[in-house]
A and B are shown apart, each in its own frame.
Chain A
């Protein structure tokens, strides 16, 4: 396999973006990413578009975006892995470069969720799981699915809703420093605890919002990366796994098996021993506060049942064991579903290059970062390890 590097990254402002159509929104990130890499469309061999859709008008987002961005007639496809679509698109681009099929691939994640009313978005996300057995008769919702995990986790380990709130407080704190975040304001314990229940025990401020946004990265082979930049960030390993569609087929509700398997595979490929102290930062999938706690454990940052103590002790702020979600996470930065994974990889790339302004820049000591991106409720899982160091011979 050939080495693959991130050589450019771009991201739009996240939020309610009714000032731009899907293709226009994508262009904001594609333009930034191409400028960052110092390339033009002609330098790109193919592009992968990550969009879940359903709430937005265009049914063929890859060609719609390709045409507007001047990427036609390059090969393309749309990739779907629910909320992990962005990582799946990167996995696809990575594979085509690693295999020698392409040298430069653009990955574009874009989602326009506010083209439909909020109630429609809630309905559609709730249908994502198993429509036949769990939605048709029981009206499950996405917060509802994660609430099943929250209830079981709190009950088994004696964690509390206040522990969940700590995640929201931390991520809003960092989001307040991110000019591209949907919510650039801090929240306090009272505000989180007094927000309305969405799906017990999860409250509004435990949930990531409905978001429009785009993100793009340019991946390149070693030969091209060396030509384009002096500081490529290498993709050292991507691990992926899937889970059952039906919640009734899950072994337990205190962790995501797919995430553990994806982490194991990514760690093996990258030769990483799982010690969180060797990472400078991690971006993890906090679509709900409980999801971040599960991530700490599934990724091996803490022992099973110890994730909430990390949150309680503030160990995932800068200066702790490992800073997590310095972007504000899905919670505060926003969660434009197809763009999220691409945005996470772009964020870790820029962090490892110390390009972030202000206090949310991590201290880069080891040159390693991690991205954990979950689709659905552990229906899909992707873990990606990035490094300043190419590794190998």
Chain B
């Protein structure tokens, strides 16, 4: 038997120092340091070379780029041609019509997209053979088929104000 009696000397002993961030994990009962140092990160990314893309998007047009020297076409748009080395590029308007190559519906979303309802993503091959990946709107998932005709639309997205291009079923 151990005695629970505390001697007067022990009673005077100071309380041990504690660190509020050393905690016991609920699931495993193992001690952890929950770091005090919190980092918020937001990237600032140059769009200098692809401003023609944004200017066209603002006018409701989705464009890629064409190299003025060798004629290579690109989507996503870019400022430099890696095929011939030229940086002399012009805009290339994408066909508004295409065919769905594949799609998915995202149920487990990244935390930075938690304000959105579950969304569908599609990849379409546009006439002229450039492909576009974007959200697929205006159709129930069970009505979507690989190979269906789709069109590109542009809108200002309500939830976050992004100027967004998206795919939707093309009227047949």
Binding site for B on A (CB under 8 A): 16, 18-19, 57, 119-120, 122-123, 126-127, 131-135, 137-141, 143-144, 147-152, 155-156, 196-202, 246-250, 252-253
A-B contact count (CB 8 A): 108
Per a CB cutoff under 8 Å, which of A57, A122, A140, A253 touches B102?
A253
Q: How far is the CA of A246 from the CA of B76 in the complex (A)?
A: 8
Please tell me which stretch of B2-10, B11-19, B127-135 contacts chain A, meaning at least 4 of its Cβ atoms lie within 8 angstroms of it.
B127-135
A4 to chain B, nearest CB (A): 34
B86 at the A interface (CB under 8 A): no
B30 at the A interface (CB under 8 A): yes
Chain B hits for A155, CB < 8 A: 102, 145-147
Which residue of the partner chain A has the closest CB to B108? A198
Which residue of the partner chain B has the closest CB to A252? B101
Q: List 28 A-B contacts (CB under 8 A).
A: A18-B25, A18-B30, A119-B111, A120-B111, A122-B108, A122-B109, A123-B110, A131-B43, A139-B110, A139-B113, A139-B116, A140-B106, A140-B121, A141-B110, A152-B102, A156-B146, A197-B107, A198-B107, A199-B104, A199-B107, A200-B107, A247-B123, A248-B76, A249-B131, A250-B131, A252-B101, A253-B101, A253-B123
A14 to chain B, nearest CB (A): 15
Chain A hits for B109, CB < 8 A: 122, 139, 141
A334 to chain B, nearest CB (A): 16
Chain B hits for A156, CB < 8 A: 146
Per a CB cutoff under 8 Å, which of B43, B103, B106 touches A151?
B103
Q: A122-B111, A246-B133, A253-B123 are in contact. Are A152 and B105 (CB under 8 A)?
A: no
Q: A18-B25, A144-B121 are in contact. Are A133 and B133 (CB under 8 A)?
A: yes
Q: A155-B146, A248-B131 are in contact. Are A148 and B107 (CB under 8 A)?
A: no
Whether B104 lies near A196 (C-beta < 8 A) is no
Whether A137 lies near B110 (C-beta < 8 A) is no
B112 at the A interface (CB under 8 A): yes
Whether B121 lies near A148 (C-beta < 8 A) is yes
B164 at the A interface (CB under 8 A): yes
Whether A143 lies near B108 (C-beta < 8 A) is yes
B172 at the A interface (CB under 8 A): no
B1 at the A interface (CB under 8 A): no
B162 at the A interface (CB under 8 A): yes
Whether B107 lies near A151 (C-beta < 8 A) is no
Chain A hits for B106, CB < 8 A: 139-141, 143-144, 199
Q: How far is the CA of A262 from the CA of B127 in the complex (A)?
A: 32
B158 to chain A, nearest CB (A): 14
Q: How far is the CA of A199 from the CA of B141 in the complex (A)?
A: 12
Interface centre among B25, B103, B104, B164 (most CB of A within 10 A): B104
Whether A248 lies near B105 (C-beta < 8 A) is no
Q: A126-B110, A148-B104 are in contact. Are A248 and B123 (CB under 8 A)?
A: yes
Chain B hits for A134, CB < 8 A: 133
Per a CB cutoff under 8 Å, which of B108, B132, B133 touches A199?
B108
Chain A hits for B102, CB < 8 A: 148-149, 151-152, 155, 253
A-B residue pairs, 7 tightest by C-beta: A147-B104, A139-B113, A155-B146, A152-B102, A123-B110, A119-B111, A200-B105
Which residue of the partner chain B has the closest CB to A197? B107
Whether B112 lies near A123 (C-beta < 8 A) is yes
Whether B101 lies near A138 (C-beta < 8 A) is no
Whether B133 lies near A248 (C-beta < 8 A) is yes
Chain A hits for B107, CB < 8 A: 196-200
Whether B110 lies near A247 (C-beta < 8 A) is no
Whether B28 lies near A200 (C-beta < 8 A) is no
Chain B hits for A197, CB < 8 A: 105, 107
Q: How far is the CA of A133 from the CA of B134 in the complex (A)?
A: 9
